[in-house]
Every structure is written in C-alpha cells, then in structure tokens.
Amino acid sequence: MNLALITMKQVIVLFILIFSGFIAVKFHLFKLEYKNAFSDLLMKLVVPCLIIDSYMMEFDPKILSDLIKTLIYSFSFLLLSCLIAFIICRKIKIRDKNIIFFASAFSNCAYMGFPLIEAMYGREGLIYASAFVTSFNILLWSLGYSVLSGNKDPKKQLKTIITQPAIISVFLGLIIYLAKLPIPDIISKPIGNIATLNTPLSMIITGMIIADTDIKKLFKNIYLFLIIVSRSLIIPAITFLVLILTKGHGVYAQIVFILAACPTAAISSVFAVEFKYDEDLAAVAVVITTFLSIILLPFWAFLLTLKV
C-alpha cells in the first residue's frame, strides 16, 4: 500500500506540472513557440547540471564492488530494453519510427524511480539508482541521441556525441566522484539549484505540447498504443523474466529492474520537438504511461518481493 501511495503522489505531482504548461499555453501566458527555447535550456544547461549534481556525494569504498555490479546490470537491462524496442519497431516504415523506438526503450527512471527506491531500500538504494542513471545517460546520449538525430556518419556521430553537454557532464561527474574532489558550496549550490529545474521544465514542455494536440485524433494512432504496451508491459515483463533466469539477486539487481520498468522518459517529448518528430505522439505517450505507472510500478515491486 505504501508503494502505491508513493507512486500515486509522484504521478500527481507530474500531472500538476504538465497541467501548468497546458494552462500557460491555453491562457496565453506562454506562446507555443517558447517550447523550443525551453527545450534548449533544458538540454544544454539544466540536464548537464542535474548529471553533475548526482555525483556530488560522499565516496564509500565499501559499496564500490556493488556499484560495479550495478553498472553491469544497468547496461545489460538498458541494452535489452533497446533490443526489445528495436524488434518491436523494426517493420515500421514512417519517419516517426525513431521516436517510437526511443519512447519505448527509455524510461523516466530518475523522477519516478528515485522516490520508490528510497522508500524500499533507504538512502543507500539511491547510490545504486545513481549508477543506473549514469548508464542510462550514457546510452541515451549515445545510442538514443544518434538514432533520433539520424546522423549515420560514424565520425560525425562520435563528434556529436562527445560534444554533447550531457555526455561531458557524465565524465566530469565521474571524475568528481571517483577522485573525491571537494566542490565548494559556492559552485555546488548553483549547480544543484539549476538541476532542480529538470522535472518541472520537462513536464511543462510536455503540457505545452499537449495544449496544441488533438488527443481524440491521436487515440486513433496505433503507434501510441504500441509505445504504451511496449514500455508499460512487454519490456518490464521480459526484463523481469531475465532477472529470474539469471538468478539476479541483491538490492542492486532489484533496483535496476524497478528503474528499467518506469514509464516513458519525459525527455522523449523534448527530443521530439528538437528533431521535428511527432511531438504530440511523444507527449501523450509520456502522460499515459506515467498514469499507468500508478498501478504497474507497485505491481512490479510486489513481484520482486515474491521473487525474494
């Protein structure tokens, strides 16, 4: 029951933020075209600060071994999610195939997952969750970003990836954490303050997109249901089965699974805006899978308790 309440609270907060963006457009507080500027702000400043901020924690050598195992599990589960999404989307011929793949493969692991992880496993669980988010960011800004950008030139693709603010931030964060670099408050606090804008800004952008969306028409789009079923049911079910078959044990394995089972990543709608995909489809997929997570995330967490 506690997990259901925690999840429901997070979803309500998300929907209030989405509704804020929706109302801002409907009442002409924001112009619809502002979403492009907000998207740039999010991608080039807020997300990098969020990544760096996540590594500003005390280094604990006792959990280093489990952190390495967490990274292995994280990359494995994330790659499995991408493989499943690729197989599901392989016969789609439209250009939006790329955003359908992305919205199916990548989860909203940080905002939706972290409160559940803290409730189930305490503060130590958040350390393993941060390791998952590291793996997530590396794949999102390499594989995910290259698929969406459509850049097939390996050299240009590599240059695009390594010059992304988010990827640079991942490496800076790892250096800070592993080298135990002390960051003075005068630097860490502004970074932390900017990082807190990530979820509100992502959700507001999503709300702005929905304000200009014909949702009734979109419900006739079979690809919306493909994303919902893939992200909410197929990928979590297969990853859970793999967890059982590989005899995955330990807190870190359970945490990786829960984060992999979260709803569609909110940044899907932001990427759809940036790369001119069907932003309505991405935004509504974020909203519906998030709503379904009220029931599904506690369900997957309950299955974990049975497995244990």
DSSP 62: G
- Residue 1: pLDDT over 70: no
Q: State the pLDDT at residue 194.
A: 93
Q: How far is CA 160 from CA 58, 165, 168, 269, 284, in A?
A: 32, 10, 11, 20, 28
What confidence tier does 36 reach under pLDDT thresholds 50, 70, 90? confident
The CA distance from 5 to 231, in Å, is 22
- Which amino acid belongs to residue 179? A
Question: What is the CA 40 to chain-centroid distance, rounded?
Answer: 17
Burial class (CB in 10 A: 0-12, 13-18, 19+), 124: middle
Other C-beta atoms lying within 10 Å of the C-beta of residue 189: 12
Backbone angles phi, psi at 213, to 5 degrees: -110, 135
Q: At 239, which helix (H) or strand (E)? A: helix 235-245
pTM of the model: 0.78
Token digits of residue 195: 């990082």
The CA distance from 163 to 157, in Å, is 10
- Residue 5: pLDDT over 90: no
Locate the domains of the chain by residue range.
2-307
Token digits of residue 12: 């309500």
Q: List residues bridging with 107 in a β-sheet.
A: 264
- Residue 157: pLDDT over 70: no
Q: State the pLDDT at residue 298.
A: 81
Other C-beta atoms lying within 10 Å of the C-beta of residue 237: 14
The CA distance from 66 to 25, in Å, is 46
Minimal CA–CA distance to 46: which of 236, 198, 206? 198
In the predicted model, what is the mean pLDDT of residues 214-238?
Answer: 89
Burial class (CB in 10 A: 0-12, 13-18, 19+), 234: middle
Instruction: List, for residues 61-116, the tens digit of each pLDDT value.
Output: 766 677 788 889 999 999 999 999 999 999 898 989 999 999 999 998 876 677 67
Token digits of residue 225: 């249901």
Contact 279, 221 (CB under 8 A): no
Q: What is the CATH number of domain 2-307?
A: 1.20.1530.20
The CA distance from 40 to 56, in Å, is 24
Mean pLDDT, the chain, as a whole number? 84
